[in-house]
A = this chain, B = another copy of it.
Amino acid sequence: MSATAHDRRLVAVLGHGLVPAETPILRADDLGALRGDGIFETMHIRDGQPWLIEAHLDRMERSAGLLEINLPARGELLDLAKTILSEWNPATEGALRLVCTRGPEGGGVPTVYATVAPIAASVVDARRNGIRVATISLGFGADARSGAPWLLGGAKTLSYAVNMASQRWALAHGVDDVLWMSADGFALEGPTSTLVWLTGDRLWTVPVDRTGILSGTTAAWLLAHAGDLGWTSGYRMVTPAELITADGVWLTSSVRGPAEIRAIDGTERPPSAFTSAIVNLLGFPV
């Protein structure tokens, strides 16, 4: 830990190291800005360390492959994370973002940078008290993105305008988040989270390859460790009606962790007896 540990936003740029957070770092013609043409990952910083960084970098490499972006070698990205976290106060819960754009239009090298920032109070509140969601359709069938690589299913890109519009729509309609639906009635994922639910002693999430949803890093770790809670795990499609009667429903994401869904389209769900066990297993502060 540095003598000057920070808990306000920090920025580090690959090849330049730490820069003041307000420094402009992207050119006007960077395709990350002009076209949302780039990829990113966000990680939970606990005790000054990025949780599951190797799994996040695995996914970032898959995203880079789908977008045909020249992501730097893993060692460079790990060094960048180390550089920025060396200045971060380990007592402060944080969110680390790694971003890689395609770089300037007309050719050039990718723009690669990291940010770390404290976690908003609303995020901690959602983890603690759960969330109310509404279901809204993405417009396509659950299988539509399978075999359509141009739709970038499974890639975590910078083109999140629809994700952000969906969350604005939620707040404007009196709920905390949305659950994206397929046109044929299946629950898919949240705009920035993965759907996980418990029925009896089995923990489920939505299959990735068939649906083109993002493979959730936190959800994958949770399902892999379901045995620690005496559960098995599996992948299947699900409807909102099934979720209402499940023994627990969560939207998991890297920074917010597990947020229990307490209402779907106005239908309340009783609090799950298992939320605190899941929060503890995932190692998030409560």
Q: A30 touches which one: B26, B34, B117, B152 (CB < 8 A)?
A: B26
A280 at interface by CB-CB < 8 Å = no
Q: Is the interface of A mostly helix, strand, loop or mixed?
A: mixed
Query: Given A113-B28, A138-B151, A148-B137, does the pair A34, B97 have CB atoms closer than 8 Å?
Result: yes
Chain B residues near A138 (CB-CB < 8 A): 140, 151
Judge whether B21 and A29 touch: CB under 8 Å: yes
How big is chain A's contact interface, by range? 35 or more
A168 at interface by CB-CB < 8 Å = yes
Query: Given A67-B165, A152-B161, does the pair A26, B24 have CB atoms closer than 8 Å?
Result: yes
Chain B residues near A163 (CB-CB < 8 A): 35
Copy number in the complex reads: 2
Which positions 74-118 of chain A face chain B at CB distance < 8 Å?
A: 97, 99, 101, 113, 115, 117
Q: Which 6 A-B pairs have the closest CB atoms?
A: A36-B36, A139-B144, A159-B159, A159-B161, A139-B140, A26-B26
30 contacts between A and B (CB under 8 A): A11-B27, A23-B24, A23-B27, A23-B28, A24-B25, A24-B27, A25-B27, A26-B30, A28-B115, A29-B115, A35-B163, A36-B36, A38-B161, A66-B165, A68-B168, A137-B144, A138-B140, A139-B140, A139-B141, A139-B144, A139-B148, A141-B183, A149-B165, A150-B178, A151-B162, A152-B162, A152-B165, A155-B161, A158-B161, A159-B161
